[in-house]
Amino acid sequence: MRPRIVIAEDESITRMDLAEILTEAGYQVVGQAADGFDAIEICKRQKPDLVIMDVKMPVMDGLQATENIMEENLAGCVLMLTAYNDGEFVNRANDLGVMGYLVKPIEEKTLLPAVKIALRRNQEMHEYRNKVIEVEKKLEERKCIERAKGILMKKDGFSEEEAYAYLRNISMKKRCNMGKIADMIIRSTV
């Protein structure tokens, strides 16, 4: 599937040029906005992989829009685009978690590598987040099993090994995850 991109740029010629470069490179431009407010609304509808966001725009600037997009998880990542190479803008963009910062005028030879790298880093971060969620889930399940073992040891006088074997046995007989069995035991004692 082709990466989906939203372009937020108040200069219509620059916006059209960016869209043309990206489309010719095989990306799918799913929306264009002339201000930060419209960029947010498009992102709510489209959930793009990447937003190319100008810093200075009317109604709502790109930094404010980026903050909203990142907080609400409306896009995979943001690549800032600006005519200003100002340290304050760069620091604020960095604090917001943008994937890159391009200074105008933008040429194809600088835009496409930045887009490719931003999308790849976003994919890697997504994979890391999923791994963290999985590890946290397993840790919570492990805590639940330990708690259920403690309940069985106290209530039925099982040793730790017997309590674990009991949980495992029920899990196999019922073809149900040990964590769910442990959770049922905990809930039944509350």
Task: Give the DSSP per-residue string, 30-89.
Answer: EEEESSHHHHHHHHHHH--SEEEEESS-SSS-HHHHHHHHHHTT-SSEEEEEES---HHH
23 and 98 in one domain?
yes
DSSP element (H, E) containing 90: helix 87-96
**Mean pLDDT across the chain:** 91
Residue 123 in any domain: the answer is: no
101 - beta bridge partners?
80
Q: Are residues 24 and 101 in the same domain?
A: yes
Q: Are residues 94 and 152 in the same domain?
A: no
pLDDT value for 59: 87
CB 16, CB 109: distance < 8 Å: no
Q: Are residues 32 and 88 in the same domain?
A: yes
Number of domains in the chain: 2
Kindly state whether residues 138 and 65 are assigned to the same domain: no
| Claim to verify: residue 79 and residue 168 sit in the same structural domain | no
CATH number for 174: 1.10.10.10
d(CA 77, CA 157): 54
Tell me the C-alpha distance between 94 and 12, whole Å: 26
User: What single string gives the DSSP state of each residue in 157-185?
Assistant: ---HHHHHHHHHHHHHHHT--HHHHHHHH
Output the pTM of the full model: 0.75
Q: Assess contact for 178 and 168: CB atoms under 8 A.
A: yes
Indicate whether 122 belongs to any domain: no
* Residue span of the structural domain in which 62 resides: 4-106
Is the pLDDT confidence value at 114 over 90? yes
Query: What pLDDT, on the 0 to 100 scale, is given for residue 50?
Result: 96
Residue 126 lies inside a defined structural domain of this protein: no
pLDDT digits (tens, 9 = 90+) for 28-56: 999 999 999 999 999 999 999 999 999 98
- What DSSP designation does 105 have? S
CB within 8 Å of 138: residues ≥ 6 apart: none
pLDDT at 88: 79
Q: What is the pLDDT of residue 96?
A: 86
Among 54, 89, 106, where does a domain finish?
A: 106
Whether residues 95 and 172 fall in one domain: no
**Could you tell me which residues are beta bridge partners of residue 51?**
6, 78
Q: Let me know: does 5 contact 51? Beta carbons within 8 Å.
A: yes
Residue 176 sits in the same domain as residue 90:
no
pLDDT (tens digit per residue) in 67-92: 999 999 999 999 999 887 777 778 88
Q: Which residue has the tokens 């810093």?
A: 55
